[in-house]
């Protein structure tokens, strides 16, 4: 047997980072309309600023040659995308100058030609003209270009530490950058190797690697699997907290994961996830809840991703469902009180109140499994806890409630638990120690089990 035919696994420490034009990928950089405006309005000016000698947070000094090459490539290869962004800006200026009461039928022919077929002029309740983008059509246009996508692979997170979260990923020693679109099936061959063996030869063929790329891939591989032996459950039910809003609900026959942001070190990691995940539940598109690098790595293991229904046509709030489908993920889009079944249980989408008072896609969830009911509240606001009184009336009381408390007051958190009728309450928070302590004291006085989650936690029954 040759070296390339030996069974290998992807190392658990391997760092995976999807990129769009070498910037860390987010929903807003995949969706064609906001991606174009971000490239023209934020990324190109950032690169130009750096080349003028101005400091850019997270972008190290001494990289002018690499930054100039990236900027030249964007101007050359993304001219269509930059032109589309200019057309959006021109159209929005046109509609702003038109004022209230203007006739959409006379405005539409005046839109730049790049927007024809991809946007329409609409009026809001105050008769102000605006653009509604036909987002699904934009994914079929020349402005959605999968050649903009690539994935960076590194043995650990050293390359990521060398750059800021919103800065471009420049060439780095020991890093493998592959210009392979996110939806390419070759990624499934690589990422499934976390739980099932593959060979270097299969990976080379699946991803179309040359000799140099294959050599850079080898340090990411190992002969020994790293998957945790207790990642599956033999009897009963189990919930594990992986950090922030990420929870894994399991029975012997099923698994449901919320907001899969997977940590490292002394937290549960990718190695602790079950091989099969029936449903992934996303509460919102914030980057600490919707992480494309995690979803891409789990794609071949997921039955479906449940997402909140997004507003249609708003370039500031792109559709989560359309983005994930473009990445090859199976998606179920839900409204409040829509129910989704999985083996041995159900998930019901419940209302989400935005913590910053904006109108955008969001959902909380009530999970029923193994004789228990769980509320996954993520970062829902406590502005009107009576909302969850209606959830309780419609769906019944909750056994365990999980939610974030970075912006909730102790009073709001207490009201949320009261309205849900929860017997136990578990919260995550990066600060807010006084509010957390006040809430925990309130729960203690009323005989409600409550805890501030840190590192990792498990519940079994």
Q: Give the sign of the dihedral formed by CA 136, CA 139, CA 142, CA 144.
A: positive
The domain ranges of the chain are 3-78+145-222, 79-138, 238-460
Check whether domain 238-460 has CATH 1.20.1740.10, yes or no? no
Asked if 282 and 306 count as a contact pair (C-beta separation under 8 A), the reply is yes
- Answer yes or no: is pLDDT of 357 > 60: no
Could you report the per-residue pLDDT of 433-449, keeping only the tens digit for each?
A: 899 999 999 999 999 99
% of residues, the chain, pLDDT over 70: 97
Q: How far apart are CA 332 and CA 342, in angstroms?
A: 13
Could you report the per-residue pLDDT of 31-90, keeping only the tens digit for each?
A: 999 999 999 999 999 999 999 999 998 899 999 999 999 999 999 999 999 999 999 999
Q: Which of 231, 281, 238 is nearest to 256 (CA)?
A: 281
In terms of DSSP H, where are the helices of 10-150?
Answer: 27-30, 32-38, 44-51, 64-77, 79-98, 104-107, 135-138
Rg of the chain on CA atoms, in Å? 24
What average pLDDT score do residues 418-445 get? Answer: 94
pTM: 0.95
Q: How far apart are CA 36 and CA 21, in angstroms?
A: 11
Q: Which of 273, 285, 275 is nearest to 352 (CA)?
A: 285
Q: What is the pLDDT of residue 125?
A: 80
% of residues, the chain, pLDDT over 90: 85
- Answer yes or no: is pLDDT of 142 > 90: yes
Give residue 416's pLDDT band: very low, low, confident or very high (50, 70, 90): very high
Q: What is the pLDDT of residue 160?
A: 54
């Amino acid at each position: 047997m040759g070296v390339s035919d030996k069974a290998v696994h992807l190392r658990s420490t391997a760092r995976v980072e999807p990129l769009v034009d070498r910037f860390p990928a987010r929903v807003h950089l995949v969706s064609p309309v906001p991606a174009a405006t971000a490239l023209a309005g934020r990324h190109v000016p950032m690169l130009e600023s750096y080349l003028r000698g101005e400091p850019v947070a997270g972008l190290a000094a001494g990289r002018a040659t690499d930054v100039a090459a990236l900027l030249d490539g964007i101007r050359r290869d993304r001219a269509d995308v930059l032109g589309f962004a200019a057309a959006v800006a021109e159209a929005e200026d046109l509609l702003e100058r038109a004022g209230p009461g203007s006739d959409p039928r006379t405005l539409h022919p005046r839109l730049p030609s790049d927007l024809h077929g991809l946007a329409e002029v609409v009026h809001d309740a105050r008769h102000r003209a605006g653009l509604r983008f036909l987002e699904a059509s934009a994914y079929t246009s020349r402005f959605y270009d999968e050649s903009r996508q690539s994935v960076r692979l590194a043995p650990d997170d050293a390359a990521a530490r060398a750059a800021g979260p919103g800065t471009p990923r420049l060439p780095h020693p020991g890093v493998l950058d592959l210009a392979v679109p996110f939806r390419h099936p070759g990624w499934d061959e690589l990422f499934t190797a976390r739980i099932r063996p593959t060979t270097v030869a299969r990976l080379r063929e699946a991803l179309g690697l040359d000799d140099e790329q294959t050599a850079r891939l080898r340090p990411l591989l190992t002969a020994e699997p790293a998957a945790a032996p207790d990642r599956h459950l033999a009897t009963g039910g189990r919930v594990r907290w992986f950090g922030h809003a990420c929870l894994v609900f399991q029975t012997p026959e099923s698994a449901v994961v919320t907001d899969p942001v997977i940590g490292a070190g002394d937290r549960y990691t990718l190695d602790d996830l079950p091989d099969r995940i029936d449903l992934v539940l996303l509460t919102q598109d914030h980057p600490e809840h919707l992480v494309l690098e995690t979803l891409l790595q789990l794609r071949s293991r997921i039955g479906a991703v449940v997402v909140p229904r997004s507003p249609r046509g708003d370039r500031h709030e792109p559709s989560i469902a359309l983005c994930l489908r473009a990445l090859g993920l199976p998606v179920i889009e839900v409204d409040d009180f829509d129910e989704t079944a999985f083996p041995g249980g159900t998930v019901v989408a419940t209302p989400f109140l935005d913590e910053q008072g904006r109108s955008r896609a969001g959902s909380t969830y009530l999970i029923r499994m193994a004789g228990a009911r769980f509320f996954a509240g993520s970062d829902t606001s406590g502005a009107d806890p009576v909302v969850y009184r209606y959830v309780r009336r419609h769906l019944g009381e909750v056994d365990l409630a999980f939610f974030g408390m970075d912006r909730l007051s102790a009073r709001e958190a207490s009201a949320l638990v009261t309205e849900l009728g929860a017997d136990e309450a578990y919260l995550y928070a990066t600060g807010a120690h006084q509010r957390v302590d006040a809430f925990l004291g309130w729960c203690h006085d009323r005989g409600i089990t409550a805890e501030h989650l840190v590192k990792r936690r498990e519940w079994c029954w």
